Amino acid sequence: MRDLVDAPEPMGAGHKKVIIVAGGAGFLGSALCARLLNAGHSIVCVDNLLTGDFANVAHLATNPQFRFIRHDIIAPLRLAGPVDEIYNMACPASPPRYQTDPIHTFRTCVEGSLNLLNLAEEKQARILQSSTSEVYGDPEISLQVESYRGNVNTVGPRACYDEGKRASETLFWEYGAHRGLETRIARIFNTYGPRMHPEDGRVVSNFIVQALRGEALTVYGDGSQTRSFCFVDDLVEGLVRLMASDEKMPVNLGNPGEFTMLELADKVLAKIGSDLPVCFRPLPKDDPRQRCPDISRAKRILGWEPRVSLDRGLDLTIPWFAERLSAERRKGALVS
């Protein structure tokens, strides 16, 4: 995998670790596996392949330091030998996907976290939870700082994910505060890049896929709601730095550059097909109006901030989707 962000490698060549990446065949998980493998560590990639895809890590599987285990973390994971670090990246993350089986989504967040925390305790490993900006729900403040307690509906279509992730933070905090475990909590904001699933359902992949297919771009609501978009390599760098830090309290990781849905649509159209129309559809229930991370803590504690602009990130992402869609077309042509 390309290493777009030439950040300093926090781990010395002499200290190679055994690292579990749960959800390692997903979009973020697979980028993290590649990054850690590239740094010389041994990776145990655990994924139930519910929304993850083995194709995301197939290029890593020839490396003898990479091991793949198909396993659903809702059940306890038993592993022989030492483990130094566990990254919990497991859980469908886009609304259409996590709403397919909401109780399973919730259980992945909660029981999955419990199982991995117990494993970390057994192995005396560090463990990082991929939490999410969704713990802020539909925020009433324009820049979300970690101390903001959120605006989440406990009884609505997004609750299985939002409350599941909130609950997982509580579990991580408890194991960190009262059981002496080295826990980390990353609140991950919107991230994009190669290996996002084309049908993921989130806006960057939606727009790119629609534009590449020559379809109208679907905008929900009036398109004035904002999101921030972090390129995947920046995000992975933040995760690795957070794991290496001493910080047990939640840390926002994301790109504070804020764009409206219409601005994003314009950028994608400018890069792919400017004559395509935009069609508007009703805003889904509980869709947040805005999302933008305050990353002051990450800057201060981790010395981290995103380096890849949205324009550059899109330029790095669009060719991957183009290749993927054309491979699918070739496959479709062969089949039919």
Known catalytic residues?
161
103 binds its own copies (CB under 8 A): yes
Contact region with its own copies (CB under 8 A), list: 68-76, 100-108, 262-270, 294-302: 100-108
Interaction between residue 159 and its own copies (CB under 8 A):
yes
Work out whether 135 is an interface residue with its own copies (CB under 8 A). yes
Indicate whether 250 belongs to the interface with its own copies (CB under 8 A): yes
246 touches its own copies by CB under 8 A = no
* CA-closest candidate to residue 87, choices 196, 167, 182: 182
Task: Indicate the pairing of strand 258-260 with strand 251-253.
Answer: unpaired
Query: Within positions 179 to 198, which residues make up the interface with its own copies, using CB under 8 A?
Result: 179, 185
Interaction residues for its own copies, span 272-291 (CB under 8 A): none
Please, which of residues 37-96 interact with its own copies by CB under 8 A? none
- 175 lies in the site for its own copies, by CB under 8 A: yes
- If binding is defined by CB under 8 A, does position 116 make contact with its own copies? no
Pick between residue 105 and residue 317 the one whose CB is nearest to its own copies.
105
Closer CB to its own copies, 179 or 330, in the complex: 179
> Smallest gap, in angstroms, from Cβ of residue 174 to its own copies?
5
Q: How far is the CB of 56 from its own copies (least distance, A)?
A: 29
The nearest distance, CB 67 to its own copies, in angstroms, is: 30
Phi, psi angles (nearest 5°) of residue 20? -90, 130
| Residue 298 in contact with its own copies, rule: CB under 8 A | no
Does 127 bind its own copies (CB under 8 A)? Our answer is: no
**In the complex with its own copies, which residue's Cβ is closer, 135 or 219?**
135
CB closer to its own copies out of 106 and 259: 106
274 burial type by CB count under 10 A (0-12 exposed, 13-18 middle, 19+ buried): exposed
Q: Which stretch binds its own copies (CB under 8 A): 68-76, 84-92, 110-118, 209-217?
A: 110-118
Q: List the one residue from 35, 71, 107, 297 that touches its own copies (CB under 8 A).
A: 107
Among 50, 93, 128, 152, interactor with its own copies by CB under 8 A: 152
Binding-site ranges for its own copies (CB under 8 A):
102-103, 106-107, 110-111, 114, 135, 137, 149-156, 159-160, 163-164, 166-167, 169-175, 178-179, 185, 249-250
